[in-house]
Amino acid sequence: MKERQPSGKTSAAAELAARAKGLRLICLGLSALDQVWRVEGLFAGGSEKIRSFDHTTVGGGMAANAAVAASRLGGATAFGTGRRGRCGNTRCARRWRAKALTSAISGCFRRALSVSGIIVDRSGERQIANFRGEFPADAGWLPLDEIAGASAVLRRSALAGGPRSRCSAGRGSLGIPTVLDGDVADASVFEQLLPLTDHAVFSEPALAGFVGSASDEALARLSRFDCRVAAVTRGRPG
């Protein structure tokens, strides 16, 4: 019998998992409570009511999800404040801690602050209402001494203030690769963070909000920040 060859997606995932062994990723971002409704079609606009065929509540947040993905691929990941576990005791915090424990992630953010209502249609398109709340602006909670053992640092543009110091320390004196997950934020945030970033990956709305367009030409204008890689995700096209 002829042996079945793995699909491209399967082999790519296996290659990623093999490369992740022994890596330690530090992810900086907000832990979130995501209320997810699945529907046939998204809101078309105006005042309307649609029926959901499924609902779930999960712990999330983009940096948190990145930590989970890296952990499941075999890397060692820490989220937020390393092993200090300052997530608090809110419903959101408990959801996130459960997610972290099942994914072998150490640590979590100081407080759980972000709550989202997410509508997802059959094709995977989504609409999101997000309450971000307030988060600490001081950098006192950052265990900068832990960064020396990291393979890379990932941070979200939504988390301004203190984590900028960690990105600076990583890319500067220690030579540790820094990754920016660029979501919609004030232009001043990107002006501060991009010079400290090795790999910048923007969503289309974030790039358009920052430089006026999400075109390839607009992306090329980021070369002034001297990032090693600048990229934009384009939803379904990839």
Numbers of helices and strands, H then E, in the chain? 7, 11
| Residue 130 reports pLDDT greater than 60 | yes
Question: Which CATH code fits 23-136?
Answer: 3.40.1190.20
This prediction has a pTM of 0.70
More confident residue, 87 or 151: 151
Same topology, domains 23-136 and 150-238? Answer is yes
pLDDT score for 152? 82
So where are the chain's domains?
Answer: 23-136, 150-238
pLDDT score for 26? 80
Residue 115: helix, strand or coil by DSSP?
strand
Whether the CB-CB separation of 27 and 82 falls below 8 Å is answered with no
Amino acid of residue 69:
A
More confident residue, 90 or 207: 207
More confident residue, 108 or 97: 97
Topology of domain 150-238, per CATH? Answer: UDP-N-acetylmuramoyl-L-alanine:D-glutamate ligase (3.40.1190)
Alpha helices in 115-193 (DSSP H): 163-171, 187-193
Compute and round to an integer the Cα radius of gyration of the chain: 19
Whether the CB-CB separation of 178 and 196 falls below 8 Å is answered with yes
